Chains A and B, each alone.
Chain A
């Protein structure tokens, strides 16, 4: 499995995303730039310039038409993927930490940072897909401030009326998108900050990674923990591999203490764990800093990791990855 090294960012990666077909890879980083790449050869297709601060997050719709991104310049932007033009800009009092499209592409949810007297907020916007996309409503259809520990990651749950959030304290919760009411929560889902949340294709379960060195799979409806993957380093990202019963975990020593730890000890590998048996099956080395974000292509034939070192590494799985049945013939539901 020979990786393709994507060298287009000058600072550490914050999030990467594949489009639905898996032929394009979007990446954003602390250097204010969003890049889009061809997955199969690693060629850069283009950039989305305009943000004035660290781009924390992005998401692509299912038709690969619109891209939303959230940044530390306190804006949420909507981009035309094809032309690279910024179509609309929403401004907030604080930085945008996480954005996500709904399943039907009609809505976008975002989390803004709690800072300078402003509470952390969750907003839902309707996306007007008619016309050229420049005609958007500046007002959110829903706006609420979750109380208690601040939300850091979010996504639409299995039904669009519910929003799934991960919190600083390690809590996961479900909010009613209209009323902002907390419908369900699991206070002790993790013991520390939740760093990433990624849902299964049908949104019936999701995986979270946390600084408490574990990743967990939860049932979206009940928020019950189904599986736990315990590693020896803080985790920054966790992804579900479609078609194969694996989860991919990335992390490593804190960026702060990286200079004082050797590569050997940093554990900057991407780790493959068996989703059901909760045991590690393999590791992929490469980054020389912590892995910040991992994404798996929706058709499951490749994955990419973005690191604190500023590189994105795209790995196309070998033939043997699909053929191998390390645990024998087991029928596992996706």
Chain B
């Protein structure tokens, strides 16, 4: 045999190729793709055949699926001599056949006969099918990592993500010894990364779409195929994701089909809504680019879709005409019609406070109706109509409160994060329309009939911010003539003011104004009380001011009473810091630390990030070139009940003792290490010095010129103190006394 092989003669006969043949057998069924079986055809005699075929051919032709009588084959029952009531049709190709099937299936031929059209191969396939149902093998359960594993950290540390160059890193942030990198990956994202609002997922953006990552080993959790995606937005409860791409959706030939992919109906749209858990595409929208009066296209609003706080509805405004609200999870237009509002400019959902959430949970358990959502919108001045702010209930769409406003150029709606107040920042123009000033219309939503309080200001307000969970707000106002036309090196002078709600009177009163600042950004701590004023995006100024608004009192309620006496006394400046050319400032979710970053997306001067404590003490600073992004990982709502929270607060001293002990232990640990290291360095140095001195002495004596260096006389230089008295006549007055 071996010799045969060498000579190139093989004995093929003896080898069994059947297995290979079976494996590589060409599937011939494709050849029958263009054959359809039409059922439900009238049973006829041979004599009527021609007439029938002509009629069927005509019917098919009318629907755009022409078929010649020659391509139809009618099987005959030999016994009765009649047809079997079916026809085989042979089309030119599979596509024509598929089209004919779609067009003619269920076609009523006459009163008695309705065609049912099937593919020939399907008939074969289903006939050959095993009749007995076999229970499918259940997939073995694979335990998934807990998506909120980071919350179980024994040291209770927070995490943050950084993006620098191509490197994405997830860090633990804690005590100096506990700061470490939890995970890092090169090229994790193509554009940027983003946390979901409760911190469960990390989203990365790629050319092909969005990917979500999570769990302690950062495995891929979900993906959404939206090519060239640029912007993403999560719904507040992390159930849905909205993506936007500048390029309209194109579904190429042979693209993947399925609930997770775009279908031909989605072509041309830019916005897509996805279900995060299943990864299914829910709906797509074209992006509306509102045209302003002068015809230029304005920048697109993002988020383009606004979510209600409970993820039940999502709204989209068509400026000038309507607000369309869609129900979830079906993504159908609620009540099949949009809310038609002439001239509507913008709207905002009312956020849910903790109280609302508790109530909603209770109501749901009891099976009662859940409180309705609220949304506020505003319409600008048109002709004789004044501008108007309206608060409505949803889904009942009943109007709760309306307020007319005059001389309005622009409105902005700010809900307080517990949904207690709604502030409408109204930019108003004087009659000459030359200068702008500002009114704050504050709706007290929790009270009956929504009383409105107006705070009138003389200057333009550039930033407004509610204290989270609080009754205070901060504004940045400016009367700088350079406002509105920023140039390089121009720093706009601003004033920062704090206001507080006075319960007894029901109005808002100024606590304090800080004049002559350059700050343009307000950052309240997520827990309230502390606030940071920052000058962001300026190349000359980069100050951070840390303020405490309840400095005098540990308990807030007490402070409110006290402030009756000394209004504004509890506002205390804690510290000032400087982070050169910072572009972002963000509090950590616990409100203990502030992170500032200078991103390479904005400029290339000293990129990097710094972390400060709430007093403005620098804890960490890293100057890293090509640094792009810093993001704290958000935390979900606490699982503790109110009672438990109160208990923690009451026993704070007990807890803090253990923490203090840990801190002390840690400190001594670190310093012990450091001290040992320093000791070693000093010992090395001293040893070297002694050696060097000996060698030096030897060298000197060898060179012979001079004996060992004379010991420096260690006489203390006598210092002589000389006191000099200087008499200086400053002024001499002569007085003449006339008697």
Q: Which residues of A contact B (CB under 8 A)?
A: 21, 104, 158-161, 202-205, 219, 221, 226, 262, 264-265, 276-277, 299, 327-328, 330-334
Nearest CB on B from A243, distance (A)? 12
Of the candidates A262, A327, A332, A333, the one whose C-beta lies within 8 Å of that of B690 is A333
Of the candidates B540, B675, B678, the one whose C-beta lies within 8 Å of that of A262 is B540
Of the candidates B682, B690, B699, B700, the one whose C-beta lies within 8 Å of that of A276 is B682
Of the candidates A205, A327, A333, the one whose C-beta lies within 8 Å of that of B686 is A333
Please, which residues of chain B bring their CB within 8 A of the CB of A204? 689, 692-693, 696
In the assembled complex, B361 has its CB within 8 A of some CB on chain A: no
In the assembled complex, B659 has its CB within 8 A of some CB on chain A: no
Cα-based distance from A331 to B682 in the complex (angstroms): 8
Cα-based distance from A21 to B678 in the complex (angstroms): 33
Number of A-B contacts (CB under 8 A): 56
Cα-based distance from A264 to B695 in the complex (angstroms): 46
A221 & B705 in contact (Cβ 8 Å cutoff): no
A221 & B686 in contact (Cβ 8 Å cutoff): no
Cα-based distance from A276 to B705 in the complex (angstroms): 33
Given contacts A276-B682, A331-B686, contact A104 B700 (CB under 8 A): no
Please, which residues of chain B bring their CB within 8 A of the CB of A205? 692
Digitize B666-695: 1 where CB-to-A-CB distance is under 8 Å, 0 elsewhere: 000000000100110110011011101101
In the assembled complex, B142 has its CB within 8 A of some CB on chain A: no
A265 & B605 in contact (Cβ 8 Å cutoff): yes
B681 & A226 in contact (Cβ 8 Å cutoff): no
Nearest CB on B from A326, distance (A)? 11
Please list the 9 inter-chain residue pairs (A to B) with the smallest Cβ-Cβ separation, ordered nearest first.
Answer: A333-B689, A159-B703, A204-B692, A333-B686, A204-B696, A276-B685, A330-B682, A276-B681, A159-B699
In the assembled complex, B234 has its CB within 8 A of some CB on chain A: no
Nearest CB on B from A101, distance (A)? 15
A226 & B688 in contact (Cβ 8 Å cutoff): yes
In the assembled complex, B706 has its CB within 8 A of some CB on chain A: yes
Cα-based distance from A4 to B679 in the complex (angstroms): 37
Chief secondary structure at chain B's binding surface: helix
Cα-based distance from A197 to B686 in the complex (angstroms): 22
Residue of A nearest to B688 (CB): A226
B706 & A104 in contact (Cβ 8 Å cutoff): yes
Of the candidates B682, B703, B709, the one whose C-beta lies within 8 Å of that of A161 is B703
B709 & A202 in contact (Cβ 8 Å cutoff): yes
Can you list 8 A-B contacts with CB-CB less than 8 angstroms, sorted by A residue number?
A104-B706, A159-B700, A161-B703, A262-B540, A265-B605, A330-B678, A333-B685, A334-B689
Given contacts A219-B692, A265-B605, A332-B682, 11 further A-B contacts (CB under 8 A): A21-B717, A159-B703, A202-B696, A205-B692, A219-B688, A221-B692, A264-B580, A276-B682, A276-B685, A277-B678, A332-B685
Residue of B nearest to A262 (CB): B540
Please, which residues of chain B bring their CB within 8 A of the CB of A328? 675
Please, which residues of chain A bring their CB within 8 A of the CB of B686? 331-333
Of the candidates A221, A262, A265, A299, the one whose C-beta lies within 8 Å of that of B695 is A221
Q: Among A159, A203, A328, which residue has the most Cβ atoms of chain B within 10 A?
A: A159
A158 & B682 in contact (Cβ 8 Å cutoff): no
Please, which residues of chain B bring their CB within 8 A of the CB of A265? 580, 605-606
Given contacts A226-B688, A332-B686, A333-B690, contact A327 B678 (CB under 8 A): yes
Q: Which residues of B contact A (CB under 8 A)?
A: 540, 580, 605-606, 675, 678-679, 681-682, 685-686, 688-690, 692-693, 695-696, 699-700, 703, 705-706, 709, 717
Cα-based distance from A88 to B681 in the complex (angstroms): 48
B681 & A277 in contact (Cβ 8 Å cutoff): yes
Cα-based distance from A136 to B685 in the complex (angstroms): 43
Cα-based distance from A189 to B705 in the complex (angstroms): 30
Nearest CB on B from A63, distance (A)? 14
Please, which residues of chain B bring their CB within 8 A of the CB of A277? 678, 681
B693 & A202 in contact (Cβ 8 Å cutoff): yes
Nearest CB on A from B680, distance (A)? 10
Please, which residues of chain A bring their CB within 8 A of the CB of B717? 21, 299
Please, which residues of chain B bring their CB within 8 A of the CB of A262? 540
Please, which residues of chain A bring their CB within 8 A of the CB of B700? 158-159
Of the candidates A104, A158, A161, A331, the one whose C-beta lies within 8 Å of that of B696 is A158
Cα-based distance from A202 to B709 in the complex (angstroms): 8
B685 & A221 in contact (Cβ 8 Å cutoff): no
Nearest CB on A from B107, distance (A)? 80
Please, which residues of chain A bring their CB within 8 A of the CB of B679? 330
Residue of A nearest to B677 (CB): A277
B678 & A221 in contact (Cβ 8 Å cutoff): no
Please, which residues of chain A bring their CB within 8 A of the CB of B690? 333
Nearest CB on B from A319, distance (A)? 14
Cα-based distance from A203 to B700 in the complex (angstroms): 11
Cα-based distance from A276 to B693 in the complex (angstroms): 17
B696 & A160 in contact (Cβ 8 Å cutoff): no
Cα-based distance from A271 to B497 in the complex (angstroms): 40
Nearest CB on B from A109, distance (A)? 16
Residue of A nearest to B539 (CB): A262
Nearest CB on A from B262, distance (A)? 49
Nearest CB on B from A157, distance (A)? 10
Nearest CB on A from B692, distance (A)? 5
Cα-based distance from A262 to B688 in the complex (angstroms): 42
Please, which residues of chain B bring their CB within 8 A of the CB of A160? 703, 705
Residue of B nearest to A333 (CB): B689
Please, which residues of chain B bring their CB within 8 A of the CB of A334? 689
Cα-based distance from A301 to B732 in the complex (angstroms): 43
Please, which residues of chain B bring their CB within 8 A of the CB of A203? 696
Q: Among A158, A219, A221, which residue has the most Cβ atoms of chain B within 10 A?
A: A158
Q: Among B681, B692, B696, which residue has the most Cβ atoms of chain A within 10 A?
A: B692
Q: Among B540, B679, B682, B686, which residue has the most Cβ atoms of chain A within 10 A?
A: B682
Please, which residues of chain A bring their CB within 8 A of the CB of B580? 264-265
Given contacts A276-B681, A277-B678, A330-B678, contact A221 B688 (CB under 8 A): no
Nearest CB on A from B460, distance (A)? 29
Cα-based distance from A303 to B690 in the complex (angstroms): 27
Cα-based distance from A88 to B265 in the complex (angstroms): 98
Residue of A nearest to B540 (CB): A262
Cα-based distance from A159 to B704 in the complex (angstroms): 10
Please, which residues of chain B bring their CB within 8 A of the CB of A264? 580
Please, which residues of chain B bring their CB within 8 A of the CB of A221? 692, 695-696, 699
Cα-based distance from A138 to B93 in the complex (angstroms): 110
Nearest CB on A from B423, distance (A)? 37
Cα-based distance from A222 to B333 in the complex (angstroms): 85
Nearest CB on B from A195, distance (A)? 24
Residue of A nearest to B702 (CB): A159
Please, which residues of chain A bring their CB within 8 A of the CB of B688? 219, 226
Please, which residues of chain B bring their CB within 8 A of the CB of A333? 685-686, 689-690
Given contacts A205-B692, A226-B688, contact A158 B681 (CB under 8 A): no
Cα-based distance from A17 to B298 in the complex (angstroms): 66
Residue of B nearest to A232 (CB): B623
Please, which residues of chain A bring their CB within 8 A of the CB of B699? 158-159, 221
Please, which residues of chain A bring their CB within 8 A of the CB of B606? 265
Nearest CB on A from B93, distance (A)? 71
Please, which residues of chain B bring their CB within 8 A of the CB of A330? 678-679, 682
Cα-based distance from A265 to B717 in the complex (angstroms): 42
Nearest CB on A from B543, distance (A)? 12
Cα-based distance from A158 to B689 in the complex (angstroms): 14
Residue of A nearest to B705 (CB): A160
Please, which residues of chain A bring their CB within 8 A of the CB of B675? 328
Nearest CB on A from B48, distance (A)? 98
Please, which residues of chain A bring their CB within 8 A of the CB of B685? 276, 332-333
Residue of B nearest to A161 (CB): B703
Cα-based distance from A223 to B688 in the complex (angstroms): 14
Residue of B nearest to A22 (CB): B717
Nearest CB on B from A232, distance (A)? 8
Residue of A nearest to B685 (CB): A276
